[in-house]
Structure 1
Amino acid sequence: MVCDDDIKPLQRQKVCVIGAGMAGLASARELRREGHDVTVLEQSGDVGGQWRYDPMTDGADPLGAAAAPVKVHGSMYASLRLISARETMGFTDFQFAPKDGRDVRRFPGHREVYLYLKDFCDAFGLMELVRLNTGVVRVALAPGPIPTRQWMVRSVDLGKSDGAEEVEEEFDAVVVANGHYSQPRLPSIVGMEVWRGRQVHSHSYRVPEPFRDEVVVVVGCGASGKDIAMEVRRVAKEVHLVAKSMEEVTQELAKVLSKYSASLHLQLHVERLCEDGRVVFGDGSSILADTIIYCTGFNYSFPFLDTEGAVTVDDNCVGPLFEHVFPPSLAPSLSFVGIPVKVFAPWFFEAQAKWVAQVLSGKRTLPPEEEMVRSVEEYYRAREAAGAPKNYTHDVSLFDTTDYI
């Protein structure tokens, strides 16, 4: 029998959540449910993160290579639809059910997800926690002893055109949930810097019309690469879809390539780009192209975060992170929600957020720092032994069986 005197009261923490996308909203809901004082900082004018379609692009820097962060956060193209059924895209207690007058398809378009997240905010009263148009400038540890570790968060009101002053606030904990589909990841191809044509990253792609009557090379055979190649094919003179290897060419893609062989061509590997506009492929063949669209993924980017080297990003591996969430030396006051890819969202983010909220309240505990470090190192070694590249560290679809709840 346990006496009431032996039951520790739950701790109420002042927590800052960075980002009001799917991961940030999941975090806010779980943190408040656990009794924490929550503030969500969101740089755009509404919630939804990437699911809030933004027709604007980084026009002056279509490759997004000039600096981090990019000026336009959104990377959603206008025609994007879910590749996962809506039954797998809901929170555990707030299903993504069809609604009359909206997109009721089982695989709806991006706006339906955005409206669902708006409904989620309304259902759980989350908007009162969110500060919109608020850019996070810096997140760093406040001076002081480790047992009473605090975080200083400096932000600025982006809604003020007259140049608002930066505001600094102190928090007990910070949850980083700013997403990872904004900062373009570019390949290294000989001649990129001198090629005379137009080069853009999928981050800056919205609609196919700008590519009408052009010869377009689409580099990357993932979901977005195939989507964009098929869409641009309708208006372009011809499209060349580049895969790394034949392993990327699925039976389904092969059928599509055969059906549209007059305007859609498969190429394996870009060898180099020539100043005269030619694109030379791995087999020695070449074409004269107008535009290259790089559908080569995104980099994790936390330009606001200053941990003095405790958390780094090396070839898209954010680490060290215990179970992709807690940096051992800064846990539990700093955590990341939404880092893994190829997971069922949002319930995966919900599970992570629940774990973070309960650790911060004292309901659950983390292993000692040394044990967390050892676990991360073992995970890295196992990934390496399995032949997984470092930049796939957070691809947990086939490898990681983490259970957060």
Structure 2
Amino acid sequence: MELKVTIFDTIIIGGGQAGLATAYHLRRAGVNFIILDDQPKPGGAWQRTWDSLRLFSPTEYSSIPGWQMPKGDQEYPHKNEFIDYLSKYEKRYGFQIERPVRVNSVRRNGAAYDIDTDKGVYHAKTVVSATGTAQNPFIPDYAGRDLFHGPQLHSVDYRTNDPFKDQRVAIVGAGNSGAQVLAEVSKVADTTWVTLSEPHFMPDEVDGRYLFDKATQKFLQTAETGELDQDGAEKVSLNNVVMVESVREARTRDVLHSVRPFQEFYDRGVIWNDGSKTPFDAMIWCTGFRANLDHLSELGMTVDGRIKTEGTRCVEDPNLWLVGYGGWTGYASATIFGVQKTARTTAREIQKALETEA
């Protein structure tokens, strides 16, 4: 007797904020789906952030669709509060999630997909890739980096400042991660902050709400007209540093100063453009991430770490969607607040695609 094969309407690969936001809208659309998550427990990439991390927006800007994160004791939630929120969110909506399941590859099989995993093969009519970027940290290619004798770690592997006490530490990279790691490590170590350009700090009275709203306004205006008025000339960016409590405290210690990049490494530190040398005991790279798309490589559409999309929908294979990878899959889609719009649009497109094929 031939066994019946279950073919889901949609398989979502990834159980973080992007996957859950998409799942919420698919549930409302009546789509039959399952989430495959490679993590052993809820929380997505937030499980791999430093211990003291706090979000830089209050709960109403730090929630995914359908249910706002409950307010805590402080205005800006701790990362553990957000992880707990994601865990309860899954249970609240009763999503079918299997974990830990590592997806090895996605292959076309006629009108459907075969999703090969370490737990077997799953089948779906449509696929949403929401694996994020945290598993693919980016470190720039500096000459001689392998010569450096000290430890080097990316911010994804940073937890506390304890290992760096009384050391000379270079922190490379601007943005909120660079500023917050600098603020913490500088309490116990002699730090040097290396950034491509001078960091832009937001006024104390504003937070991630303002940052996101202004950056979105700038993006929409530029997209429509190709120009930016004088109000946008302040260069509002999602990389601007929000003055959370830890960064404000670092300012009182006068450590929020950065220098431009060095030229290369030597065994004990770095060599600057003028030929001078500075020894360091350790390097912390706060240099961002790249999309994690290895599981889609067999589809043969990945170019320079990306797949061509219109919005979140793959151009070459319109039954594949990519959610939450950053600007190329929807403006600010890698943020908690920003992914809401792209997740909603994605679910609508999937619903229409399934209705068309029915």
- Where on the TM-score scale, by shorter chain, does this alignment land: which range? 0.7 to 0.9
Partner in structure 2 of residue 353 of structure 1: 343
SS in structure 2 at match of 1:216? strand
Greater RCO, CA 8 A, separation 6+: 2
SS in structure 1 at match of 2:25? helix
- 1:306-317 correspondence to structure 2 within 5 Å: 306-310=297-301, 312-314=302-304
- 2:315 counterpart of 1:328: yes
Partner in structure 2 of residue 385 of structure 1: none
CA distance 1:196–1:91, shift in 2 (3 Å): closer
Partner in structure 2 of residue 270 of structure 1: 262
Distance 1:279 1:303 in 2: 33
CA distance 1:251–1:49, shift in 2 (3 Å): closer
Shift in Å at residue 90 of structure 1?
Answer: 2.0
Partner in structure 1 of residue 99 of structure 2: 132
Deviations 1:286-333 (A, max 9, x none): 3211001111111112111135422x241x5x231101x0111211x1
- 2:73 counterpart of 1:87: no
CA distance 1:196–1:326, shift in 2 (3 Å): same
CA distance 1:200–1:334, shift in 2 (3 Å): same
Amino acid at match of 2:116: R
Distance 2:282 2:126 in 1: 45
Shift in Å at residue 180 of structure 1?
Answer: 1.2
User: How many residues of Structure 1 are paired with residues of Structure 2 in the alignment?
Assistant: 304
Partner in structure 1 of residue 86 of structure 2: 117
SS in structure 1 at match of 2:343? helix
Partner in structure 1 of residue 229 of structure 2: none
Greater fraction of residues in helix = 2
Q: What TM-score do the two structures reach when normalised by structure 2?
A: 0.77
CA distance 1:121–1:308, shift in 2 (3 Å): closer
User: What is the percentage of aligned positions where both structures have the same residue?
Assistant: 27
Residues 27 and 354, structure 1, Cα contact 8 Å, conserved in 2? yes
Residues 92 and 347, structure 1, Cα contact 8 Å, conserved in 2? no
CA distance 1:135–1:240, shift in 2 (3 Å): same
Distance 1:258 1:362 in 2: 52
SS in structure 1 at match of 2:145? coil
Residues 136 and 290, structure 2, Cα contact 8 Å, conserved in 1? yes
Structure 2 gap ranges (5+):
1-6, 204-240, 242-246
Partner in structure 1 of residue 225 of structure 2: none
Q: What TM-score do the two structures reach when normalised by structure 1?
A: 0.69
- 1:198-277 correspondence to structure 2 within 5 Å: 198-236=151-189, 238-246=190-198, 248=199, 250=201, 259-261=252-254, 266-275=258-267, 277=268
Partner in structure 2 of residue 287 of structure 1: 278
CA distance 1:280–1:257, shift in 2 (3 Å): farther
Shift in Å at residue 119 of structure 1?
Answer: 2.2
Residues 233 and 264, structure 1, Cα contact 8 Å, conserved in 2? no
- 1:1-400 correspondence to structure 2 within 5 Å: 14-51=9-46, 53=47, 74=48, 76-98=49-71, 103-126=72-95, 129-142=96-109, 144=110, 149-157=111-119, 167-236=120-189, 238-246=190-198, 248=199, 250=201, 259-261=252-254, 266-275=258-267, 277-310=268-301, 312-314=302-304, 318-323=306-311, 325-331=312-318, 333-340=319-326, 342=332, 345-362=335-352
